[in-house]
Structure 1
């Protein structure tokens, strides 16, 4: 009887291991603490329950400047539905440039300046801008974009995430 159970036990262990390895695991957004430009402390975990777009950008980045009006429209379109954009200016950006751009464009979302490079490091060492992370309501990273995303695709992913 015991000899018959050993092969069955081995098969069960192999199946469990295979299932564990084949089931996709969610990469979770870091539990990042940051300050907004107006010095309010906030953490990504406080935004759980919302779909969050974390956008690393710089005022010297032409791609960032090109995509920013679209990000403004997306925030305006989905903000009342549980969506939040967090724009994190890179460490090397200059605060007066960030402030001037924010005032000029009337950016309707949370803005932070990553002066200590902690946010970029927490997201795996972001070096290129724009780099954008779409985060689901549960804090899981749904998509990472390096470069300007296709805005129609991004909106479709936001809409899908808002429905879940």
Structure 2
């Protein structure tokens, strides 16, 4: 086969590669993972059930009182919650199993956290969310119960706000 007769090979390979990437991206978006159906226990003793969160946009934030990044991001998490709560955002801050409950309660009360704070005493919530071990880790869950985004470390708050704007309208 001459070089001239093989000229069509590279464009065909490129087109196939682009199509495969597009199909892979579509599959990733269309097959978003369903959030675990857990009941959280708040520090006030209230149960936060899957039914109470159903049909809502929810942020689940795994954090710890000894995590510098968690402490740094918390004022922005509070501001984000306060901004989007009127539109229906729910927020559950889940303290890691190694965090002392008295530290969590003290931090929550002294900072007057306005959202639900839960304890993951046995680590089952972190395990259900994919063995979360790094804090902070934040999940944004859509009204359909599927995970829209997972943030490892502090979120890009402008991007998070765009995601919340779009999700809360839909």
TM-score of Structure 1 vs Structure 2, range by shorter chain: 0.7 to 0.9
Tell me how far 1:45 sits from its aligned partner. Answer: 3.8
Which residue matches 2:99?
93
Tell me how far 1:49 sits from its aligned partner. Answer: 1.6
Provide closer, same or farther for how the CA distance between residues 138 and 38 of structure 1 changes in structure 2, counting only shifts above 3 A: same
Superimposed CA distance per residue, residues 29-70 of structure 1 (whole angstroms, 9 cap, x where no aligned partner): 000111110111122342112110000000000000001000
Which residue matches 1:146?
152
Alpha-carbon distance in 1 for matches of 2:71, 2:96: 14
Helix, strand or coil for the counterpart of 2:30? coil
**Structure 2: gaps of 5 or more residues:** 1-25
Matched positions, count:
146
Alpha-carbon distance in 1 for matches of 2:161, 2:90: 13
Alpha-carbon distance in 2 for matches of 1:88, 1:82: 19
Q: Map 1:33-72 onto structure 2 (within 5 A).
A: 33-72=39-78
> Runs in 1 of length 4+ with deviation above 4 angstroms?
20-23
TM-score, normalised relative to structure 1:
0.84
Query: Does the 8 Å CA contact 1:49/1:82 hold for their aligned counterparts?
Result: no
TM-score, normalised relative to structure 2:
0.82
Alpha-carbon distance in 2 for matches of 1:57, 1:99: 13
Superimposed CA distance per residue, residues 66-105 of structure 1 (whole angstroms, 9 cap, x where no aligned partner): 0100010111111011101100000000111111110111
**1:116 to 2:127 alignment:** no
**Structure 1: gaps of 5 or more residues:** 1-19
Helix, strand or coil for the counterpart of 1:121? helix
Query: Does the 8 Å CA contact 1:32/1:45 hold for their aligned counterparts?
Result: no
The root-mean-square deviation of aligned C-alpha atoms, in Å, is 1.7
Which residue matches 1:157?
163
Helix, strand or coil for the counterpart of 1:143? strand
